[in-house]
Amino acid sequence: MRKILIAAIGVHVFQQICGVEGILLYSPRVFERAGMIGKSNLLLATVGMGISQALFTFLSAFLLDRVGRRILLLISGGGTIVTLLGLGVCMAIVEHSKEKQLWAVSYIIVFIYIFVAFAGIGFGPITWVYSSEIFPLRLRAQALGVCVTVNRISNVLVVTSFISVYKKIKMSGSLFMYTGITALACWFYFTLPENEGLGL
């Protein structure tokens, strides 16, 4: 049970500490830091994120049993690493430039949409599917209760620390930090056994 519990808790912790919830919740601040102005523009950009996440989460439901849970987790992790790195580079250019970089703002919006898409196709929904499938029936309720508790605690830690972290190390620094954490998540996902097609 120890390895199963580590695998389940690990996917729940990494789902949160990769920064997805912080970026989703504070997306208007991220867009403002990038140089976007106007409440209607900020609202439109935020709505676009929600649409991107919904579409790719829906797509994930069709790919789960065709591609496999572990493969989708690795694709998701790899995609979020690349997009977080791109976001961090563009944000660093904006933060260190004295003039407004309109091209960087456009790239930041595109990178955030792709980032949310990769999160939606992989570690967003698959965390819940994977952890529900690996526990034996006699312990599933208690074990999933532990996983949900860990997930919510991790979420609260990320969301409540997001603003203070980017104020200390700038927005680009926090994005690079999340890139490193996501790389660690990919290594963890690589060690997980595949459970697609297996009975409970």
Vertex 14 angle, CA 12 and 20, to 5°: 105
Report DSSP state, residue 192: S
Dihedral angle over CA of 118, 119, 120, 123, nearest 10: 120
d(CA 30, CA 34): 6
Return the pLDDT at 53: 83
Instruction: Please tell me the predicted confidence (pLDDT) of residue 102.
Output: 73
The predicted pLDDT at position 157 comes to 92
User: What pLDDT is attached to residue 83?
Assistant: 93
Radius of gyration of the chain, Cα coordinates, nearest whole angstrom:
17
pLDDT of amino acid 29 = 75
Whether residue 63 contacts residue 121, with contact meaning beta carbons closer than 8 Å, is answered with yes
Distance from C-alpha of 156 to C-alpha of 37, rounded to nearest angstrom: 28
Domains along the chain?
2-191 (1.20.1250.20)
- Best CA proximity match to 6, nearest among 146, 126, 139: 146
pLDDT, block means (10 residues), the chain with 200 residues: 88 89 80 70 74 85 82 90 91 80 79 89 86 85 90 91 88 91 92 73
